[in-house]
Structure 1
Amino acid sequence: MKDDRQNFVLFAVIAALILFGWPLVQNRFFPTANPPATKMVDGKQVALPKPGADPTADSPAAIRDRQVVLAETPRVRIETPALRGSINLKGPRIDDLVLTRYNETVAKNSAPIRLLSPAGAPEAYFAGFGWRAEGLSPPAADTVWTASAPVLTPAKPVTLEAANATGQRFRIEIAIDNDYLFTIRQTVMNGGAQPVPVAPYGFVNRVGVSKDPDSWTIHTGPMSVNNGAAHYAPNFKDVDAGAQRFTTQGGWLGFTDKYWLTALVPDASQTFDGQFRAGANKAYQADYSVQPKLLPPGRSLTQNARFFAGAKEVRLLDRYTDDGIVTKLDYAIDWGWFRLVEKPIFYYLDWLFRLIGNFGVAIILLTLTIRLILFPIAQRQFASMAAMRALQPKMKALQERYKDDKPRLQQEVMALYKTEKVNPLAGCLPAIIQIPIFYALYKVLLLTIEMRHQHFVLWIKDLSAPDPATILNLFGIIPFTPPHFLAIGVVPVLLGISMYFQFKLNPQAMDETQRQVFAFLPWVLMFVMAPFAVGLQVYWITTNCVSILQQRLLYARHPGLKEAPVK
């Protein structure tokens, strides 16, 4: 009896550590979900502003400030099915870009995501291309280039031209596809009397670090593919400490957020020097330069590059990679160790969504598919559990007989398993298989933009965020924001209830302390899972409900599981 009390107190302490200690480590190692997309206020659902954004970003003053900056220089408009913005002819720079397929919030009148902004505007973020001034006199940074057309579209590229005083003419041809990939052709025509070295470069400059946290699970910040591998380092702090450099042939470099990417892609046939460095006013720059080539008089030299600026859509990045357009661009999504499991789950889930039109229903169907595949294994698990339960009296007898001879006890137990043809590990197999599947779905919900702002039913407007219907403040009626670990919504409660009934159906342990632990465990897990994405909780609830039905079916086949163990 004393041991039982000690065991229960120990479990209570562990449960408390999980409840209060887990939030301290989860954001670093396992970010639970996207920030909430909505909030309950007076019982009504209200869309939240973009987390971490400049609080004046949507104010008239900020919009006027940006528009003033944009109006200061002549520009070429960008009009594509996915992008809208402009190219600054002074420089030139690609410094004005919004993503028309994605909005800041779930509100119907929400503005589209702004990716690039000109220098001098809030959250400046821009790219440029030029030539190194080492033996060559390229146009100055304040040179205004002439454009061949006022608008850049997928069907109509634009050519920018400028010249210097020593006889060289410079041309930058910019084309764009229907998505987010710019093609840059830099040409120098040498009309002078002497050969000149030509070394093109490109850069991406941004002010401030990513608003998305960089964690063990998801990398945000500087990223590159060089020397045949994807590198999720350095981070912004490393760049603050000093420039980070590499030399490679083929690859790319840029900045990645959770959902957005800017990437410079030099010509894959040439070796280039890449680097990340920090500048004044919290600015960070990724840039590359190609080794110079000597251009004789009367000749021209053209060198190609690409620039990706847009959303990290899985199918699109895979297509650019598979078609050989950009090396390993699909690694811009930090899938991590379970990549081989995560991508098939994503593609199947995305296929179900395209078929049905509701991501929550797609998650439920994914769960049913997984449970159907695992059903034969579950049958063997229950058969093993029934056999192990029948062996409990014999196990107890052996433990009493050889309690002072542990080696002999182990031999006798193994002999008993062999005689009765029981595998004690068979019951663990389904749970072990579920771990990579569960983690893969966690990563898919957390990483892929396809899950962002996906509606399910009623108040669930974003399956990649936690449940906003917090019970403790009566769904927003009480003007009180509960602490993080007490922000329990309706869906986590349903999860706790489903786990409780599933545990109730499990074969009861002979030990009283174990029974108490299993009775309390569902409610501990309810608090642990509450901050996670609703989509993940929908998966778990569906799994529990299917398990309950499955257990009832298998109890009929193995009635020994329901019987009290013989003492």
Structure 2
Amino acid sequence: MENQRNMILAIVLSALVLFGWQFLGDRFFPPAKPPVTKIEGGQEKVLPQPGADPAADAPKAIRARATVLRETPRVAIDTPKLAGSINLKGARIDDLVLKAYRETVAKNAPPIRLLSPLGSPEAYYAGFGWTGDGVDAPGPNTVWTANGGKLTPETPVTLSWTNTRGQRFETVIAVDRDYMFTITQKLVNGGAGAVAARPYGLISKDGVSKDPSSWTLHTGPIGVFNDAANYDLSFKKLDEAGQPGIRFASTGGWLGFGDKYWLTALVPDSKASVDAGFLSTAPQVYQAVESGRALVIAPGKAASVSQRFFAGAKEVALLDRYENEQGVPLFSRAIDWGWFRVLEKPIFWVLDQVFKLVGNFGVAIIILTFLVRGLMFPIAQKQFRSMAGMRRVQPKMKELQERLKDDKPRLQQELLKLYQEEKVNPLAGCLPILVQIPVFYALYKVLMVTIEMRHQPFVLWIRDLSAPDPLHILNLFGLLDFTPPAFLGIGVLALLLGVSMWLQFKLNPQPMDDAQKQVFALMPWIMMFIMAPFAAGLLIYWVTSNFLTIAQQAWLYRQHPVEPVPAAATTIVAKKK
């Protein structure tokens, strides 16, 4: 009866862990993105990635994007990393694809589209202009004149327009070899009276981010105001605020919209006072807007202001360079590193450096595991010596448990006395686990938020280390014609994780309590289910760490063999039975 009760208790506790994780995990530890490939009939197929294209065509399209692009005069954009065009109607940057990134892992997959023109589905664009008194500013339907047919890093483009009052507007657009545009706006007052005008920049986005925002990953409206990053903004808050929006008075800074891997951001002069904010102009239509101070321009005079516009991938080294070398405040915070940033960035740096040497991020993760285990070797040695000591005294602990099973307080006292006499600590085995938790979480965040890990292959069927293992056991590795739900999608890596944890527990000293024994027996297989939806790279780290731990334990146990049970203790145990 006692054994049955313990078994039922163990099953209940295990079920609480397994099913409770389903409710809490998505909030605090959202799993990886959907798999990028699928195994069917023993063949690998590339899956579409709808979240990869924030401006993809959809059935609800107003008009096809290609049609909209043909309707207006344009200046081509061509850089090593960008392609697209500037719309001369409204002087908008509204057509942009990222050459270096593909929607899927297929070789012929189209590049990521970041911006799309108004009138096409999920429009996403940037515009710049002037507002003020005594000035007839160009509007969204104004057709500008360009002095060139293509914008490149070597050839800026100047857009110009003059109103009927003699006020001339010029917008010089330059772009670097990465993702940063420089927008210089000039107003020449050729009229009879002074004008007061304020320059502005805006980003307009239809629809929320395809990447959901969570406790560990912020997506949506984001900005840095007065040298502080703001992750509290959300599309929901903009919907609630309506037209007035959420405003910030700031010196410099930046603001825009971020997805997991992509970012658009307005970057005013770092020393300028700006009025910035976000608003919802229509259902599911959002804008980031910033405007500078009003400039009074006398007749015959001119004024100009410059700002920058970022539209591209959140590459770690590139954001750091814009921050440290070009003065964009806290631009690296466009990546939501979270609380463990001080640990995550060094881990990423190590991975990136090792990757540059070996050319494979999966191998880099395995090497990182060896480095982490090497750094923790002294701590692990103390742990295993303590565990060897616990194995040595287990017969004595068992004898005490049998002799004092009806006197729990006395049993605890005797156990503590035994630990002191034998110089063992039952909690010593927890220290390496506690030390590894920040490392494990940091690697989890690195795999989740850094674009450098996106679509990075390992070997064989693992085509993306930031996505789950696509090779499932329950459909016989794709031979059966069905795809298990995520909860049951046990991949090869998850199975290796369960097996390696089971081997570890077998080498560890066994708990004295029968219920604990049952929980520990079930825990490897519970963790197998919990970890199956996570990134393959994370499981590679854990499995490698487990097998290194097993090897280290086995070696140390040979150095500290378990002593035979004393005859007296064996006799006492036999009598009690």
Query: Is the TM value for this pair above 0.5?
Result: yes
Q: TM-score normalised to the size of structure 1?
A: 0.93
Instruction: For 2:408 and 2:360, locate their aligned partners in 1 and report how far apart those are by CA, in whole Å.
Output: 60
Classify 1:508/1:417 alpha carbon distance in 2 versus 1 (closer, same or farther; 3 Å): closer
**Contact 1:65–1:121, Cα closer than 8 Å, also in 2:** yes
Classify 1:187/1:9 alpha carbon distance in 2 versus 1 (closer, same or farther; 3 Å): same
Instruction: For 1:496 and 1:464, locate their aligned partners in 2 and report how far apart those are by CA, in whole Å.
Output: 20
SS in 1 for 2:113: strand
**Residue in structure 1 matched with residue 269 of structure 2 by the alignment:** 267
Q: What is the CA-CA distance between 1:52 and the residue it aligns to?
A: 4.6
SS in 1 for 2:133: coil
Return the letter of the residue paired with 2:360: N
Instruction: For 1:359 and 1:528, locate their aligned partners in 2 and report how far apart those are by CA, in whole Å.
Output: 24
**Contact 1:180–1:310, Cα closer than 8 Å, also in 2:** yes
**Residue in structure 2 matched with residue 186 of structure 1 by the alignment:** 185
**Residue in structure 2 matched with residue 47 of structure 1 by the alignment:** 46
**Residue in structure 1 matched with residue 228 of structure 2 by the alignment:** 229
**Residue in structure 2 matched with residue 471 of structure 1 by the alignment:** 473
Return the letter of the residue paired with 1:361: V
**Residue in structure 2 matched with residue 329 of structure 1 by the alignment:** 331
- In the alignment, which of 254, 257, 278 is matched to residue 256 of structure 2? 254
- Superposed CA deviations along residues 349-370 of structure 1, whole A, max 9, x for unmatched, are 1111111111111111110111
SS in 2 for 1:129: strand
Q: TM-score normalised to the size of structure 2?
A: 0.91
**Residue in structure 2 matched with residue 447 of structure 1 by the alignment:** 449
Q: What is the CA-CA distance between 1:81 and the residue it aligns to?
A: 0.5
Classify 1:431/1:342 alpha carbon distance in 2 versus 1 (closer, same or farther; 3 Å): same
Instruction: For 2:272 and 2:51, locate their aligned partners in 1 and report how far apart those are by CA, in whole Å.
Output: 39
- Superposed CA deviations along residues 300-323 of structure 1, whole A, max 9, x for unmatched, are 211110000000001111111111
Return the letter of the residue paired with 1:255: F
Q: What is the CA-CA distance between 1:28 and the residue it aligns to?
A: 2.3
In the TM superposition, 1:57-456 aligns within 5 A as 57=56, 65-242=64-241, 243-390=245-392, 393=396, 421-456=423-458
Q: What is the CA-CA distance between 1:155 and the residue it aligns to?
A: 1.1
Matched residues, percent identical? 58
Instruction: For 1:202 and 1:226, locate their aligned partners in 2 and report how far apart those are by CA, in whole Å.
Output: 16
Return the letter of the residue paired with 2:66: Q
Q: What is the CA-CA distance between 1:206 and the residue it aligns to?
A: 0.8
Establish whether residue 555 from structure 1 lines up as the match of residue 557 from structure 2: yes
Q: What is the CA-CA distance between 1:541 and the residue it aligns to?
A: 0.8
Instruction: For 2:415 and 2:60, locate their aligned partners in 1 and report how far apart those are by CA, in whole Å.
Output: 77
SS in 2 for 1:467: coil
Instruction: For 2:54 and 2:370, locate their aligned partners in 1 and report how far apart those are by CA, in whole Å.
Output: 43
Classify 1:403/1:272 alpha carbon distance in 2 versus 1 (closer, same or farther; 3 Å): farther
Instruction: For 1:562 and 1:506, locate their aligned partners in 2 and report how far apart those are by CA, in whole Å.
Output: 17
Instruction: For 1:36 and 1:563, locate their aligned partners in 2 and report how far apart those are by CA, in whole Å.
Output: 52
Instruction: For 1:39 and 1:315, locate their aligned partners in 2 and report how far apart those are by CA, in whole Å.
Output: 32
Q: What is the CA-CA distance between 1:143 and the residue it aligns to?
A: 1.4
**Contact 1:198–1:292, Cα closer than 8 Å, also in 2:** yes
Return the letter of the residue paired with 1:254: G
Instruction: For 1:92 and 1:79, locate their aligned partners in 2 and report how far apart those are by CA, in whole Å.
Output: 17
> How many aligned positions are there?
565
Q: What is the CA-CA distance between 1:49 and the residue it aligns to?
A: 0.9
Q: What is the CA-CA distance between 1:438 and the residue it aligns to?
A: 0.5
Instruction: For 1:225 and 1:86, locate their aligned partners in 2 and report how far apart those are by CA, in whole Å.
Output: 28
**Contact 1:317–1:329, Cα closer than 8 Å, also in 2:** yes
SS in 2 for 1:559: coil
Q: What is the CA-CA distance between 1:223 and the residue it aligns to?
A: 0.5
**Residue in structure 1 matched with residue 498 of structure 2 by the alignment:** 496
Instruction: For 2:252 and 2:61, locate their aligned partners in 1 and report how far apart those are by CA, in whole Å.
Output: 40
Instruction: For 1:323 and 1:471, locate their aligned partners in 2 and report how far apart those are by CA, in whole Å.
Output: 50
**Contact 1:220–1:256, Cα closer than 8 Å, also in 2:** yes
Q: What is the CA-CA distance between 1:289 and the residue it aligns to?
A: 1.0
- Superposed CA deviations along residues 83-107 of structure 1, whole A, max 9, x for unmatched, are 0000011110000000000000011
Return the letter of the residue paired with 1:446: M
SS in 2 for 1:360: helix
Return the letter of the residue paired with 1:480: F
CA root-mean-square deviation:
2.8
Classify 1:139/1:532 alpha carbon distance in 2 versus 1 (closer, same or farther; 3 Å): same
**Contact 1:18–1:528, Cα closer than 8 Å, also in 2:** no
Classify 1:62/1:43 alpha carbon distance in 2 versus 1 (closer, same or farther; 3 Å): farther
What stretches of structure 2 of length at least 5 have no aligned partner? none
SS in 2 for 1:474: coil
Instruction: For 1:300 and 1:89, locate their aligned partners in 2 and report how far apart those are by CA, in whole Å.
Output: 23
**Residue in structure 1 matched with residue 5 of structure 2 by the alignment:** 6
Instruction: For 1:221 and 1:550, locate their aligned partners in 2 and report how far apart those are by CA, in whole Å.
Output: 45
